[in-house]
Amino acid sequence: MMEKPTISILTPVWNGLPYIKECIESVLIQDFTDWELLVSDNGSTDGTRDYLDSLNDPRIRIFKQEENVGIMGNINFLFIQANASISQILCADDYFTSSTSLYTIVKYWEHASPEIGFVRFNHTETKNSICRIIDLENRIVPPILESGTATLWLFVFGNIPGNLSNVSLRTQLVADIGYFNQNLPAAGDFEFWSRAISKVSMGIQNESTVYIRRHDNVASNYLSQKGEFYLQHIIIYKYLIKELESHYDRKKLIAYFNYEICSYHYRNAIKSALHGRFGYLKTMLETKSSITWSKWLQVTACLPFALFNGHQKLTIHMAEMLINHQQKQLGVSEHLN
């Protein structure tokens, strides 16, 4: 019986050519060699399966889904198959930046406290951002976001882990938390981290280990054309507000959500409408929720923010107030400037 590898690399793919070749080649050149690579093809029709059939490294295991199980379903499948106690997600568009990337990740886990359930690398990806709230996060985020206090950070700063390929985690965590929500294809990762952070702590590392590729065919582009991302954001922020409202003013939390998150979506919806695509805006105008303002108030209050808050200059003070409130509760004397 073969010994379990130190780390499992999990690569979900659908029509991954030509990028998946660079992805897998970046794994094969790693100096650290005690790994397994699990690739799950989600019904590709572009020749990806032929390429996968050509791979003969015994550390690579290929799975071919008979029908498309969705992005989150494919990721859940890979975690069920993983043999190592630690997993690194590596989406088919992305690749390790150097031959030492895996070594860096493995070394981190050798010294990580047991309370840490997942870690984001590449945090310098958003360094020197012109967006004020993103810049605030970069300046003040600690190397460990502790369970119990990190929920507010996700509420204020959004999906801090960012792209899935930034993240390495304890494999068992996915089953323990209840897997990624397959009904949230555009934001299932954010929703999962929101649940996980109530049970475990999150590590933050600046080291660049993976290159995150940006191109027109990335999943986030085609999964939110009709406002799907907005609907999924409502589900996530409704959960976060429920988790926070016993310690923070619910009205202020809802105000931040509408001014920052809803305005962001109105901005994108308006851009789509200017290109003749009205589905996004239609979704926003028709959607009602306990955490969204009335449509009249939302349109009149959020529209100026949608037009003029692209750099988050109008909402930065709200973010600072929420973080300062938490620091005061924790007995931290220094407040944000």
Which mean pLDDT values do the consecutive 10-residue runs of the chain (337 residues) have?
88 98 99 99 98 98 97 98 99 98 99 98 79 94 95 98 98 99 97 98 98 73 78 98 97 98 96 95 96 95 94 97 92 63
Which class does domain 7-219 fall in?
alpha beta
Please report the pLDDT score of residue 221 as a whole number: 54
Please report the pLDDT score of residue 337 as a whole number: 56
Question: Coil, helix or strand for 186?
Answer: coil
CA dihedral (60, 64, 65, 70) positive or negative: positive
In angstroms, rounded to a whole number, what is the distance separating the alpha carbons of residues 93 and 12? 10
In angstroms, rounded to a whole number, what is the distance separating the alpha carbons of residues 27 and 24? 5
Would residue 162 be called left, alpha or beta, if left means φ above 0 and alpha means ψ between -120 and 50 degrees? left
Please report the pLDDT score of residue 223 as a whole number: 59
> Could you tell me the residue ranges of all domains in the chain?
7-219, 245-330
Residue among 62, 74, 76 nearest 173 (CA): 76
Please report the pLDDT score of residue 1 as a whole number: 43
Please report the pLDDT score of residue 311 as a whole number: 95
Residue among 204, 220, 203, 200 nearest 212 (CA): 220
Angle between helical axes of 228-244 and 279-286 (0-180°, round to 10): 40
